[in-house]
Amino acid sequence: DSGVTQTPKHLITATGQRVTLRCSPRSGDLSVYWYQQSLDQGLQFLIQYYNGEERAKGNILERFSAQQFPDLHSELNLSSLELGDSALYFCASSVEGFSPLHFGNGTRLTVT
């Protein structure tokens, strides 16, 4: 158990809808990362937050947004969903610097 909690485990929704994925980092970790894993793109970095502030952005679409709250949990919001957004979304947390990222079990999103 990595200590990172992601909910829900599975999400099935229709195109055009909006969903929210939630992540609770390991106790003591200030950084939260979001990754998307799809069959054709592999593991793609989306966005990182550190102690409530956005720290780095990767290949995150404008339809996607995220935030980290004062209690350090994070939410990833996906809107105007398309079939191609179907993927496994991982949240990871770390202490700082080059610390290893510890990943949650992921949320599997299916857009129909």
Partner 1 sequence: AQKVTQAQTEISVVEKEDVTLDCVYETRDTTYYLFWYKQPPSGELVFLIRRNSFDEQNEISGRYSWNFQKSTSSFNFTITASQVVDSAVYFCALSVFSQGAQKLVFGQGTRLTINP
- 10 CB contacts (<8 Å, ≥6 apart)? 107, 108, 110
Output 15 or 41, the one with its CB closest to partner 1: 41
- Nearest distance, CB of residue 74 and partner 1, angstroms: 15
d(CA 81, CA 30): 29
In the DSSP assignment, the letter for residue 85 is G
Residue ranges of E strands in the chain: 5-7, 10-13, 19-24, 31-38, 42-50, 53-57, 64-68, 74-78, 87-94, 102-103, 107-111
Q: Taking Cα atoms as reference points, which of 109, 17, 7, 14 lies closest to residue 63?
A: 17
32 interacts with partner 1 by CB under 8 A: no
> Which CB, 79 or 88, lies closer to partner 1?
88
Within residues 71-110, the interface with partner 1 by CB under 8 A covers 88, 90, 92, 94, 97-106, 108
Query: Residues 44-63: x/- map of binding to partner 1 (CB under 8 A)?
Result: -x--x-x----xx-------
CB of 43 to partner 1, least distance (A): 4
Return residues touching partner 1 (CB under 8 A): 2, 31, 33, 42-43, 45, 48, 50, 55-56, 88, 90, 92, 94, 97-106, 108
